[in-house]
Amino acid sequence: MDSKSTKQQIIIPPAIIKDAINNKVSLNESGLIVVIPAEASLKHYDLLTLYWKGKEGINKSYPKAITQQREGKNFTYQIPLKRLDNSPSLDIWYSFYQAGTTDIKTSPVTTVNIILPENRLKSINTRNLAIMMQSVTVLTTEKSMRLFMLKYILLLGSDA
Residues 67-104 pLDDT 10s: 999 999 999 999 998 888 888 899 999 999 987 888 89
Q: Give dist(CA 54, CA 79) in Å, integer.
A: 13
If asked whether residues 74 and 23 sit together in one domain, one would say yes
Report whether 14 contacts 50 (CB < 8 A).
no
Overall domain count for the chain: 2
Residue 11 resides in a domain: no
Question: What is the torsional sign of CA 64, 69, 74, 76?
Answer: negative
If asked whether residues 73 and 27 sit together in one domain, one would say yes
If asked whether residues 133 and 109 sit together in one domain, one would say no
Q: Give dist(CA 94, CA 7) in Å, integer.
A: 23
pLDDT at 66 over 80: yes
CA 118 and chain centroid, separation: 19
Higher pLDDT, 11 or 39: 39
Quick one: pLDDT at residue 148? 59
If asked whether residues 21 and 35 sit together in one domain, one would say yes
Residues 17-45 pLDDT 10s: 999 999 999 887 788 999 999 999 999 99
Quick one: pLDDT at residue 86? 82
Note down the domain range covering 49.
16-116
Q: Which of 116, 132, 147 is the last residue of a domain?
A: 116
If asked whether residues 109 and 125 sit together in one domain, one would say no
Higher pLDDT, 29 or 9: 29
Higher pLDDT, 150 or 98: 98
Residue 8 resides in a domain: no
If asked whether residues 122 and 145 sit together in one domain, one would say yes
